Chains A and B, each alone.
Chain A
Amino acid sequence: MLRISCPWCGPRDEPEFRWGGEVPVLRPGPPEAVSDSAWAQYLFVRDNPKGWVRERWVHAFGCRQWLIVVRNTVTHEIRATARLTEPLPEVTP
């Protein structure tokens, strides 16, 4: 089980949180100018790296705030968490 340190509530167990996907994933636009392949890329394709990744999580059972988590997909180590209003934490090892 992961222990995630919520920037507002402190360390809590993983079942209190919901995973919200990799960041950043930027919506392309304007819609009428975006090709089908670019939309598909935006909707379905993720980097899914082996190693460090930045993810969005929400503290669903706690303060209900979204946060950024820097997690290693191999070891599940969590290096940093941050509020969405803070600069994105670095992911380079």
Chain B
Amino acid sequence: MLEHRTPFDSIREGEDPGSATIARELIVTPVRDKGLLLLQSACLQALQTALEREIGLRLPPAQQASWHGPYVLLWQTPAQWLLQLPARECDSIGAALSDRLASALAAITDFSDALVALEVGGAGLADVFMSGCSLDLRADAFPPGRVARTSLADVPAILWNPGGSDRIHCLIERGFETHLFAWLKGTATR
């Protein structure tokens, strides 16, 4: 079997304090121990009720996130949301939501291995990101709770602001992290 290593493997394996400082105080930290469930349904009321009863979450409006305790719900499309939750609860909550939505037209898919979640922080954050996507990511235009699906460095990316003006969470498809890491490094040091 071929060994596939990415620049983030050394971070995950703890060869450094858990994050990588790239340049200009740009710090990349993999989001650990989180699972992802993709929720798809046009039956908003049924989905809303299931989420509220199961984990106390409300569906966020377009381009927004909602959160409650360890659960974060990210708007994706008018009929899709991404639920980030503790990895150990992924199976049980996925099954519980499926049960609650048994009579509705809905799909719940474990996306934990499909996407890589990274927290990127630092003073140069907005400038670096804005050179690779068409969004205004300055603090007043991309406030806490804001979610955007976009193209970052020519790859599909989900960006959201978990709070504060100096960090953004970025979810990309697994396999693109080597490219993204190289792009962040190249852009931040340019």
| Chain A residues in the interface with B (C-beta under 8 A) | 8-10, 12-13, 15-16, 61-65
Contacts and interface: CB of A to CB of B under 8 A. Distances in A.
Contacts of B187: none
A63 B149 contact: yes
Nearest to A8: B62
Interface residues of B, number: 12
B134 A65 contact: no
Nearest to A59: B149
Interface string B95-106: 000000000000
Contacts of A12: 134-135, 150
Interface of B: 62-63, 76-78, 134-135, 148-151, 156
B138 to A, nearest CB: 15
Contact of A15 (B62, B148, B151): B151
Given A15-B151, A65-B78, 20 more contacts: A8-B62, A8-B63, A8-B77, A8-B78, A9-B62, A9-B63, A9-B148, A12-B135, A12-B150, A15-B134, A16-B134, A61-B149, A61-B150, A61-B151, A61-B156, A62-B148, A62-B149, A63-B78, A63-B149, A64-B149
A63 B134 contact: no
A34 to B, nearest CB: 33
Which 10 pairs of residues, A with B, have the shortest CB-CB distance? A13-B134, A61-B151, A63-B77, A62-B149, A8-B62, A12-B134, A64-B77, A16-B151, A61-B156, A61-B150
Nearest to A15: B151
A2 to B, nearest CB: 11
Query: Quick one: which of B63, B134, B148, B151 has the most chain A CB within 10 A?
Result: B134
A80 B156 CA distance: 26
Contacts of A65: 77-78
Contacts of B148: 9, 62
Contact of B76 (A10, A13, A63): A63
Contacts of B149: 9, 61-64
B129 to A, nearest CB: 14
